[in-house]
Amino acid sequence: MKIRVEKNILTQHLQDIIAIIPSRETLPVLSNILLEAKDNSLHITATDLELCVRKKIDVEVIQPGKITAPGRKFYDILREISPGKILIEETKNFGVIIKGEKCYFKLLGFSPDEYPDIPKTEGKKLKIETKTITAMITKTCFACSHEETRYVLNGILFDFNNSRLRLVASDGRRLSLAEEQIETTWEGKYIVPHKAVTELLKILEKNTDILTISLSEKNNQMAFLFQNTELITRLIEGDFPNYEEVIPKESKNKLTIKTTDFYQAIKRAHLMTTSESMAVKIEVYSSRVVVSKTTPELGESREELEATYKGEETIVGFNPQYLLDVLKNIDQDVIEIELNGADKPGIIRLGSQYIYLSLIHI
């Protein structure tokens, strides 16, 4: 293999796949990326066997072929080379040479035959606008669980039901649900791992193309396809809890408050919390809200905000992080929060498109 390519272009594309490379691998070849040159294009692949990202970029192919290269070291070298055209070529014993205008590097890789074969995801397909899926993921992914014992909660549920798609995430203490109407006849529920969703979000932020979602139930895989990028992930096996059972009917007890003001007040109160004393107190009155925090060994804070509340005056305690996570991802100036007492979930609804529940306050 031998190619010539713009250093900056190659480096930018590698940014999308470098995080896929496992820091600790049981299979040494997984620390490498696969480079395949053909048809005036370079195909780059990285995988940890659960998640795979493929990139395709235009290059000058002098000699077709494929090689592997230590992924992180290859990326670090490219970042330090001066801008301009670089030459990448295969050498003996599975080595790869990188030549800049005034520099030369040689890295040792593995035989490309040792690189895992990633099966193609061939099955049902649907298309969705990138801005739509980006907003849905942003409003849900923070609620995923990271506890190994709650494996089915370590991802986002993609719930397809005829003409609508729901994304649902929960860690058992809170639940976040985003819904959109889309053109599909799919029906089914699939759990996409948190790591895959996080990497997908990074790619989405750089793309304006329509996203194609492809499902292979035979291989238990889902693929997310752009024009020049493909992310393939193995799905989490198991049954996601029945989230609809925990969503209460809409309440009349609603607190109306400016989103930014409430976010900033909670953020400031959060400064006075400790791991042993986390809950922030929120006193709700008809025309104001008082956000306070007292920590015996640290001190106290208190802040009053203008607000409107329909319902009986109440006092509730919340883990501030549960509120900050959702408030920073809401793009509405004013929100309504349903409060039904200290032992009931606090609920934020944005029409029929978004629901957030803090099931356990503390």
Alpha-carbon gap, residue 231 to 68, rounded angstroms: 19
Q: Is 122 helix (H, G, I), strand (E, B) or coil?
A: coil
- pLDDT-derived band at 306 (thresholds 50, 70, 90) equals very high
pLDDT at 340: 83
The answer, yes or no, to whether residue 342 has pLDDT greater than 80, is no
- pLDDT-derived band at 120 (thresholds 50, 70, 90) equals confident
Query: Using one digit for the tens of pLDDT, what is the confidence trace for 68-95?
Result: 999 999 999 999 999 999 999 999 999 9
**What is the three-state SS of 169-192?**
EECCCEEEEEEEECCCCCEEEEEE
Strand pairing of 95-99 and 104-108? antiparallel
pLDDT at 360: 59
The answer, yes or no, to whether residue 278 has pLDDT greater than 70, is yes
Please report, for residues 43, 62, 75, 102, the alpha-carbon distance to residue 59 in angstroms, rounded to integers and kept in the order given: 10, 9, 17, 21
Query: Using one digit for the tens of pLDDT, what is the confidence trace for 162-204?
Result: 889 999 999 999 999 999 999 888 899 999 999 999 999 999 9
Please, are residues 247 and 357 in contact by the beta-carbon 8 Å criterion?
A: yes
Distance of CA 33 to the CA centre of its chain: 22
How much is the mean pLDDT over the chain? 93
The answer, yes or no, to whether residue 155 has pLDDT greater than 60, is yes
pLDDT at 149: 87
DSSP-assigned letters across all residues of 10-69: HHHHHHTTGGGS-SS-SSGGGGEEEEEEETTEEEEEEE-SSEEEEEEEE-EEEE-EEEEE
**Nearest Cα to 271, choosing from 285, 292, 257, 256?**
292
pLDDT at 214: 94
The answer, yes or no, to whether residue 339 has pLDDT greater than 70, is yes
pLDDT at 361: 58
Alpha-carbon gap, residue 244 to 225, rounded angstroms: 30
Please report, for residues 124, 280, 303, the alpha-carbon distance to residue 265 in angstroms, rounded to integers and kept in the order given: 46, 10, 7
What's the CA angle centered on 144, arms 142 and 146, to 5 degrees?
A: 110
**CB-based burial of residue 340 (10 Å sphere; 0-12 exposed, 13-18 middle, 19+ buried)?**
middle
Q: Which helix H or strand E contains 138, and what residues bound it?
A: helix 130-138
Looking at residue 297, its amino acid is E
Lowest-confidence pick of 2-6, 166-170, 183-187, 296-300 = 183-187
Sequence-distant (≥ 6) Cβ neighbours of residue 29 within 8 angstroms = 68, 110, 114, 115, 116
Q: Which helix H or strand E contains 105, and what residues bound it?
A: strand 104-108
Query: Using one digit for the tens of pLDDT, what is the confidence trace for 239-267?
Result: 999 999 999 999 999 999 999 999 999 99
- pLDDT-derived band at 26 (thresholds 50, 70, 90) equals confident
pLDDT at 14: 94
List beta partners, residue 6. Answer: 85
**CB-based burial of residue 289 (10 Å sphere; 0-12 exposed, 13-18 middle, 19+ buried)?**
buried
